[in-house]
Structure formats: C-alpha cells, structure tokens
C-alpha cells in the first residue's frame, strides 16, 4: 500500500490499531489478539472443554467486570463526596437529591460492591471444588486470597464513608474487635482509627485507603492473577468422573469463542446491576450520632459470621484464634500433601460428591441446634464458676467443637472407606456450610439486643 492512496483518517486509524478492528478470518484474529494489550494476556487457543459455563460459572470474569464498574462509579462519586465528618453525610444527600443520576451511580457502586463479595467467595469455592489450587496453580490461589482480602478491605473502608448511623456503629463495633487481639491489638486499633475513637482522622484514613491504596493494589494484582492463569495454560481442564482417561484436547481459538462468551456474561451482568440499581436504593440512615447507639448494632453483613462467633465464644477465640486458624488453613491448602491427582474433577469423585452432600446436611442440622442450645441453656461460665472465662467460655467450647469435627472426619472416612482428599473435603464442606449458616443467622435472625428472633420481627437488616 503506498502512502498516496491512504486517507488521513485511515493513516491515523492504522497507527492506533495495528490489526483489523473487526477480524474476518483466522489469520486476522490471531493478529488481533497478539496486538491488543488486554487480549494478549490470553492464550491464542484454548481447550474446548473449558468453555462450558458450568465449569467456571464465569465467576472470575464477573468479579473482574464488577471491579471495573466499581472503579468507574467510584471515581465519579469522588467528584461529589467530601471526607469530613461534618460534611460527608450532607455530600451524600446532595449527591442523591441534586446531582443528576447521583442516586443511580451510588446505587451501582453500592450493589456492585456487595455482589462482588458474594461472587469472589463463590469463585473461591469453585476453585476449591474443582481442585484448581493444585500445581501449577498453587501460587495463584495465594494471589487470589490477597485479592479477596483487598475486596473485603475495600468494602469495609467504603462502609464508613456515608457517615450515617449504620456506617458509624458498624465500624465502631468492628474496630473494637481489635482490642481483643493480645499484645498489638490496642496499638493496631489506634492506628486504624487514627485516634482513640472513630472521628475525623478515621474518615480521612479510610477514604485514602478506599480511593487510592486499595485500588492501586487491586489494579496491579489483578493482571498478575490473570497472567498466572494464562501461564498455567488456561483454567483447569474439566475431567469426567465416568471416563477417567485423559480427555482428548480439542483446541478452539480464543477470539472469538471465549471472548464472545465473556462479552455476553459481562453484558448480562451489567444489565442486571443497572436494573437492580434502578429498583433498589442504597440504604442511608440518619446522620452519625456518637452519643446514640442503634439497637441492634451490627457489623457489615460479611463480618456477621464473626460477630455470631463472638456471641458464643470468648473474644480471644472468636476474633483472634479461630480466624488465625482459618486463614492459616487457606494459605497452606495448596501446599499440603495429597494422595492423588484430583485436579479438574468436581468434588474429586462420585464418593466425594456423596460425602460432601452428607456433610452439608449435617452442618445444616447441627449448626442451628448448637446456636439455639448455646443461647438457651449451655452456660459454661455459670457451671464452672472457678475457672477464668478465657477457659470456661473460650478454650473449653472450642476444644469440644474441635473434637466433634475431628470425630466427624474419622467417622466419615471410615464409613465411606474414603481417601484423605475426600475426607478433608467433607470437613471443609462441614465448616463452610456452618460458617454460611452463622452469617445468615447474624443477618436475619438477630434482633434487638442481638437476641434470636424471626426476620419479620426485626425487619431485614442490610
């Protein structure tokens, strides 16, 4: 092509896009992918089996799309929002009443953030149950955990920003939990609050974390996470439980097979969020009043599992020792020794599936019974008046629960003549479902004074 025959427009276009914008054939598609900054994170071809929606449920992609929505709306909110206790609440009111689409943008930010927590959690569960954390994906599990942590921090720091009663007391309660961490607890609490109590310093700190530090971490770690998926030759190849032989790999081109599917999922997601945000407004209560605590005062919903633990165990165990064990377990998970290669099977095996079902059933029955029993008549503190409460209300019940869980492991392993992998998975399901039930109890079944009650008696809490 000689210079003479091109137009100014086509010369500019060709300088921006080295490849055709809408590729027509195989060769152009290949070029399109390699010459696109974002797309070249993807392999050129992928195994056909991995495309099935029920393999990944598109959860990682949905999470990424939600983060993008949050960045977009978050930056827009920043134009209106003022991070000072006297003005924050009023700026939200201004946003909702006087700014065009202000309420709408806030709703999108609010609902995307909350849905993101659920989506990332489900993504992690999917990765676990398809065995996608085994080599070579071990370290990507760790990166994922850090991403999860960042998402929780984003949500938590964002929660304070509207500076209404809900925000103020939820953050007061959560940061008070730090006091129970031995040694560094008080120091850590002061650092996070920027003083002894939630005040102007806290709001400034939270806003900086929320709108600069955490987004910067997210935007660097997410591409790292994706790149690792590519380096592991894409997501795990699903394997069928009936036919255990290595599946024949049929490769299909990423563009368009994968990209079009991702676009469809993203568009459906965005449509859903937009409709949801038109119908439901993000909650906003009265302006924060440090002299008046609401009844009941609850942590943000994703921490209610922990707050529920706090009602049953001594704080040292509820907010420190138990979480340390859970986090330690999640970090070490890819590095344990496993009997067999189970990467790519949903729930390891047919037996694994049955055991997971039994475990879930046990948890659904046992957890509510335990909650009600502990609420109504179990009272180690009163039964053992001589012991300090750390022992009677902490160590003792925790040891009892641990013994029950270990007993469950041995029993189910023997009953099903299962492998270590399968039995461990059963215990994981047991704890996972219990945790979900604890969280739901905290959200819907805790009313005034945190007493057990029905959702319709308290009104559903956000």
Partner 1 sequence: MCKQDKAKTAEVEPSRRSFLTKLWIGLGFIALIEFIWVVIAFLRPRKPRLSEANAEAIITAGPVESFAPASVTAFVRGRFYLSRQEDGGFLALSRKCTHLGCTVPWVEKENKFECPCHASAFDITGNVISPPAPRALDIYKVFIENNIVKVDTDKLIKRSEFRAEQVTYPKKFNND
Nearer to partner 1, 282 or 316 (CB): 316
Structural element, H or E, at residue 251: strand 251-253
CB 321 within 8 A of CB 399: no
Q: Which of the listed partners (partner 1, ligand HEM, none) does 137 bind, with a CB threshold of 5 to 8 Å by partner kind?
A: ligand HEM
CA 137 to chain centroid, in Å, comes to 19
Distance between CA 364 and CA 358 in Å, rounded?
A: 10
Nearer to partner 1, 389 or 457 (CB): 389
* Contact positions with partner 1 (CB under 8 A) in 171-210: 172-173, 175-177, 190-191, 193-196, 201, 205
Distance between CA 206 and CA 201 in Å, rounded?
A: 9
Distance between CA 369 and CA 458 in Å, rounded?
A: 21
6 binding partner 1? (CB under 8 A): no
438 binding partner 1? (CB under 8 A): no
Stretch that binds partner 1, among 17-25, 68-76, 284-292, 321-329 (CB under 8 A): 284-292
Distance between CA 329 and CA 128 in Å, rounded?
A: 13
Q: Where are the alpha helices (DSSP H) in 37-129?
A: 53-56, 59-78, 85-98, 102-129
Nearer to partner 1, 90 or 197 (CB): 197
Smallest gap, in angstroms, from Cβ of residue 461 to ligand HEM? 14
- Write each residue from 440 to 459 as x if it is in contact with partner 1 (CB under 8 A), else as -, in one continuous string: ---------xxx--------
Smallest gap, in angstroms, from Cβ of residue 163 to ligand HEM? 8
Among 296, 323, 368, 455, binds partner 1 (CB under 8 A): 296
Residue ranges in contact with ligand HEM by CB under 6 A: 56, 59-61, 63-64, 67, 70-71, 74-75, 77-78, 81, 92, 106, 109-110, 113, 116, 120, 123-124, 127, 132-133, 137, 140-141, 144-145, 147-148, 151, 154-155, 158-159, 161-162, 210-211, 215, 218, 222, 225, 229, 232, 235-236, 282
315 binding partner 1? (CB under 8 A): yes
CB 58 within 8 A of CB 65: no
Write the CA distances from 458 to 97, 376, 444, integer angstroms.
29, 20, 8
Q: Which of the listed partners (partner 1, ligand HEM, none) does 154 bind, with a CB threshold of 5 to 8 Å by partner kind?
A: ligand HEM
Burial state string for 250-277 with b = 16 or more CB within 10 A and e = fewer than 16: eeebbbeebbeebeebbeebbeebeeeb
Number of residues interacting with partner 1: please give it, by CB under 8 A.
30
Q: Which of the listed partners (partner 1, ligand HEM, none) does 424 bind, with a CB threshold of 5 to 8 Å by partner kind?
A: none
Smallest gap, in angstroms, from Cβ of residue 359 to ligand HEM? 20
290 binding partner 1? (CB under 8 A): yes
User: How many residues appear in the chain?
Assistant: 462
Nearer to partner 1, 352 or 442 (CB): 442
Nearer to ligand HEM, 392 or 439 (CB): 439
Smallest gap, in angstroms, from Cβ of residue 190 to partner 1? 5
Instruction: Output DSSP code: residue 180.
Output: G
Among 182, 183, 291, 385, binds partner 1 (CB under 8 A): 291
CB 177 within 8 A of CB 319: yes
Cβ-based neighbours of 272, under 8 Å, separated by 6 or more: none
Pick the closest to residue 93 from 83, 84, 80 (CA basis): 80
Instruction: Count CB neighbours of 223 within 10 A.
Output: 11
Nearer to ligand HEM, 104 or 180 (CB): 104
Q: Which of the listed partners (ligand HEM, partner 1, none) does 162 bind, with a CB threshold of 5 to 8 Å by partner kind?
A: ligand HEM
256 binding partner 1? (CB under 8 A): no
Instruction: Count CB neighbours of 141 within 10 A.
Output: 20
CB 158 within 8 A of CB 210: yes
Q: Which residues bind partner 1 (CB under 8 A)?
A: 169, 172-173, 175-177, 190-191, 193-196, 201, 205, 290-297, 310-311, 315, 381, 389, 449-451
């Amino acid at each position: 092509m000689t210079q003479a025959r091109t137009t100014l427009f086509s010369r500019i276009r060709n300088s921006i896009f080295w490849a055709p914008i809408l590729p027509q054939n195989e060769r152009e598609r290949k070029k399109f992918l390699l010459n696109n900054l974002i797309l070249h994170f993807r392999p050129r071809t992928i195994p056909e089996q991995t495309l099935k929606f029920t393999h990944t449920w598109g959860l990682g992609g949905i999470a990424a799309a939600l983060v993008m929505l949050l960045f977009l709306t978050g930056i827009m909110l920043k134009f209106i929002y003022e991070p000072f206790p006297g003005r924050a609440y009023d700026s939200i009111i201004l946003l909702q009443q006087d700014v065009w689409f202000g309420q709408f943008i806030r709703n999108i930010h609010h609902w995307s953030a909350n849905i993101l927590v659920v989506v990332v959690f489900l993504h992690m569960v999917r990765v676990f149950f398809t065995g996608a954390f085994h080599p070579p994906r071990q370290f990507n599990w760790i990166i994922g955990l850090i991403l999860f942590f960042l998402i929780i921090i984003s949500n938590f720091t964002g929660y304070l920003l509207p500076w209404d009663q809900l925000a103020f007391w939820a953050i007061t309660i959560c940061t008070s939990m730090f006091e129970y961490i031995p040694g560094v607890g008080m120091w850590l609490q002061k650092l996070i609050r920027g003083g002894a109590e939630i005040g102007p310093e806290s709001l400034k700190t939270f806003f900086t974390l929320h709108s600069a530090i955490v987004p910067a971490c997210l935007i660097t770690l997410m591409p790292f996470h994706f790149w690792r998926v590519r380096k592991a030759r894409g997501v795990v190849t699903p394997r069928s439980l009936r036919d255990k032989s290595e599946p024949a790999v049929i490769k299909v081109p990423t563009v368009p097979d994968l990209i079009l599917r991702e676009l469809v999922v993203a568009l459906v997601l965005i449509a859903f969020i937009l409709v949801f945000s038109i119908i439901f407004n993000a909650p906003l209560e009265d302006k924060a009043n440090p002299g008046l605590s609401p009844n009941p005062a609850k942590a943000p919903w994703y921490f209610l599992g922990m707050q529920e633990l706090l009602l049953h165990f001594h704080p040292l165990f509820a907010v420190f020792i138990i979480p340390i064990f859970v986090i330690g377990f999640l970090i070490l998970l890819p590095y344990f020794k496993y009997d067999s290669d189970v990467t790519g099977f949903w729930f390891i095996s047919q037996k694994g599936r049955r055991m997971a079902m039994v475990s879930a059933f046990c948890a659904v029955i046992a957890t509510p019974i335990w909650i009600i029993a502990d609420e109504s008549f179990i009272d180690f503190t009163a039964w053992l008046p001589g012991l300090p409460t750390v022992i009677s209300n902490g160590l003792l019940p925790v040891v009892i629960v641990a013994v029950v869980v270990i007993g469950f492991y041995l029993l189910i392993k023997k009953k099903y003549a299962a492998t270590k992998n399968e039995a461990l998975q059963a215990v994981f399901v047991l704890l996972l479902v219990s945790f979900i039930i604890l969280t739901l109890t905290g959200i819907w079944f805790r009313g005034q004074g945190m007493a057990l009650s029905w959702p319709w008696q308290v009104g559903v809490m956000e």
